[in-house]
C-alpha cells in the first residue's frame, strides 16, 4: 500500500475544501438551516406528530441525509473530473498508484467532507428543534456508509461526464428529486398503497429510513433491509469503478 500517494491525494482534496470554505461547508449548512426555519419552525408547528415524533424533529434525519447525498456526489465527481479536464489525470495513471489507493484518496476525502458537514448540520439542528439520537453508533455508521457509497457514485459520475453540464445534471435532475421523494419530509406510510409500492423502488427511501431509525427507533422499512440496500449500492459502485480502471473508460482518452 502506497500510503504516501493516498496521503497526497487526500491532503490535496481536503486542502481544496479549506480554500473554498464558504462554498464547501458554510453554504450547505446555511441552506439546510433555512429548511429548518421554514419546514421545522414555520410549518412544523401546524403539523401533527408522525409516529409519535414532532414534525420538526422528524425531518432532521432527512435533511441531514439530503445534504450528505448531494455533497458526497458533488465533491467526489468534481475531484476526479478536474484532473481529467486539465489533463493531470495522466500523471496519476502513470504513477505507481493502484486503484485502491486512488479511491482511498479521492473518495476518502469526499466522504470525510460530507460526514463533517452532516455532523455540523446535526449540531445546527439543535438550535432549531429538540430531538434525540436513540442509536448513536448506528447513526454514525449509516452516515459514513452513505457518504462513502455516494462518493463512489460521484467518482463514477466524474469519470463519465465530459462537460460541466453533465457533471451537474445528475445531482440536479436525479439525486435531488429522488431524495425529496424518498421520505425526507414525510413517511412513505402516509402514501396510498400504490404509491407506497412505487416509492419502495427508490433507493433513497432505504437510506433515509435507516438513518431515521437510528434517531427514533422507527423507520419506513426494517433497519436490516436499509443496511443491506446500502451495502448493495456500495458494492455495485465498487464493481463499476473496478471496470472503469480495468478498461480505462474515459481515463485514457
109 within 8 A of 13, measured Cβ to Cβ: yes
DSSP 8-state symbol, 128: T
Measured CA to CA in angstroms, residue 79 lies from 9, 43, 68, 137, 143 at distances of 10, 37, 16, 29, 21
Query: What is the structure's pLDDT at 26?
Result: 76
Query: What is the structure's pLDDT at 111?
Result: 93
Strand intervals (E) in 19-125 = none
Measured CA to CA in angstroms, residue 53 lies from 57, 134, 226 at distances of 7, 13, 20
If one counts every other C-beta atom within 10 angstroms of the C-beta of residue 20, the result is 11
- Model pLDDT for residues 118-158, shown as the tens digit of each residue: 998 898 888 888 888 999 999 999 999 999 999 999 999 98
141 within 8 A of 62, measured Cβ to Cβ: no
129 within 8 A of 60, measured Cβ to Cβ: yes
What does each of the 253 residues of the chain score in pLDDT, given as a tens digit?
777 778 888 888 888 777 776 666 777 778 777 777 777 666 656 667 787 888 888 888 988 998 899 889 988 888 888 887 777 777 776 777 777 888 888 899 999 999 999 998 898 888 888 888 999 999 999 999 999 999 999 999 988 888 777 788 888 888 888 888 888 888 888 888 888 888 889 989 999 999 999 999 988 899 999 999 999 999 999 999 888 888 878 776 5
Query: What is the structure's pLDDT at 46?
Result: 67
Rounded Cα distance between 144 and 148, Å, is 6
182 within 8 A of 200, measured Cβ to Cβ: no
Rounded Cα distance between 208 and 118, Å, is 13
Query: What is the structure's pLDDT at 225?
Result: 93
Query: What is the structure's pLDDT at 96?
Result: 75
Query: What is the structure's pLDDT at 146?
Result: 93
159 part of a folded domain: yes
Query: What is the structure's pLDDT at 252?
Result: 63
* Domain range enclosing 209: 3-247
252 part of a folded domain: no
Query: What is the structure's pLDDT at 43?
Result: 66
Total structural domains in the chain? 1
pTM for this predicted structure: 0.88
Give ∠ CA 215-207-139 in degrees, rounded to 5: 35
Query: What is the structure's pLDDT at 49?
Result: 77
Query: What is the structure's pLDDT at 227?
Result: 94
253 part of a folded domain: no
Query: What is the structure's pLDDT at 140?
Result: 94
Rounded Cα distance between 94 and 215, Å, is 46
Nearest 10 degrees: Cα torsion 89, 95, 98, 104: -60
Instruction: Give the position of cell 439543535.
Output: 126
Q: For residue 242, how far is the Cα from the chain centroid?
A: 21
Rounded Cα distance between 55 and 45, Å, is 8
| Closest by Cα among 139, 85, 89, 79 to 109 | 79
Query: What is the structure's pLDDT at 56?
Result: 82
214 part of a folded domain: yes
Amino acid at each position: 500500500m502506497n500510503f504516501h500517494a493516498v496521503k497526497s491525494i487526500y491532503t490535496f482534496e481536503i486542502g481544496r475544501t479549506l480554500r473554498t470554505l464558504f462554498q464547501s461547508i458554510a453554504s450547505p449548512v446555511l441552506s439546510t438551516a433555512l429548511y429548518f426555519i421554514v419546514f421545522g419552525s414555520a410549518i412544523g408547528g401546524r403539523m401533527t406528530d408522525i409516529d409519535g415524533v414532532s414534525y420538526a424533529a422528524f425531518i432532521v434525519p432527512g435533511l441531514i441525509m439530503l445534504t450528505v447525498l448531494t455533497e458526497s456526489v458533488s465533491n467526489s465527481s468534481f475531484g476526479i473530473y478536474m484532473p481529467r479536464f486539465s489533463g493531470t489525470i495522466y500523471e496519476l495513471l502513470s504513477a505507481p498508484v493502484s486503484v485502491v489507493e486512488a479511491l482511498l484518496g479521492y473518495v476518502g476525502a469526499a466522504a470525510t467532507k460530507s460526514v463533517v458537514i452532516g455532523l455540523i448540520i446535526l449540531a445546527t439542528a439543535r438550535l432549531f428543534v429538540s430531538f434525540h439520537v436513540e442509536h448513536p453508533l448506528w447513526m454514525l455508521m449509516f452516515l459514513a456508509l452513505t457518504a462513502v457509497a455516494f462518493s463512489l457514485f460521484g467518482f463514477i459520475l466524474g469519470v463519465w461526464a465530459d462537460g460541466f453540464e453533465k457533471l451537474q445534471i445528475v445531482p440536479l435532475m436525479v439525486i435531488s428529486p429522488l431524495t425529496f421523494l424518498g421520505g425526507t419530509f414525510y413517511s412513505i406510510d402516509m402514501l396510498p398503497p400504490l404509491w407506497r409500492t412505487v416509492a419502495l423502488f427508490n433507493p433513497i427511501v432505504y437510506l433515509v429510513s435507516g438513518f431515521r431509525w437510528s434517531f427514533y427507533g422507527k423507520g419506513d422499512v426494517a433497519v436490516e433491509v436499509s443496511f443491506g440496500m446500502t451495502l448493495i449500492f456500495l458494492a455495485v459502485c465498487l464493481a463499476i469503478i473496478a471496470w472503469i480502471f480495468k478498461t480505462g473508460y474515459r481515463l485514457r482518452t
